[in-house]
Copies of this chain bind each other. A is one copy, B any other.
C-alpha cells in the first residue's frame, strides 16, 4: 500500500494542474509536445489567437516552470520543460465527459 500524500505534495500537484487547466494552455502544450520548440508567432497562428494573449499564457507557463524559452534573433522559442505535463494530457486524451 502506498502512503498518503502529505500537504505539500497535494499543494504542488494542485499547483501544476491549475497551471495547465485552460484550453489555450492545453493546446499550447500539445503543440510543443509534437514540435520540440516553436516561436510565439508560430503558436499564435497555429492556434488562431491574439499575440498578446498568447504571450500572457506563455509567460504564465514559463513562470510556473512548465515551459522554457530561448531567444534566437527576432524570435523567442518556447519549449516543454516539465515532462510530466504531456503525460497527463495523454491520459485524458480519450476521457469521456459532458462539458457544460
Contact = CB atoms under 8 A, between A and B. Distances in A.
Given A65-B97, A91-B88, A92-B88, A22 B14 contact: yes
**How many subunits of this chain does the assembly comprise?**
2
A36 interface: no
Contacts of A10: 23, 26-27, 30
Contact of A18 (B13, B22, B84, B93): B22
Interface of A: 1-2, 4-5, 7, 9-18, 20-23, 25-27, 30-31, 34, 64-65, 82, 84, 87-89, 91-93, 95, 97-99
Given A13-B89, A17-B21, 5 more contacts: A5-B30, A5-B89, A11-B99, A13-B95, A15-B97
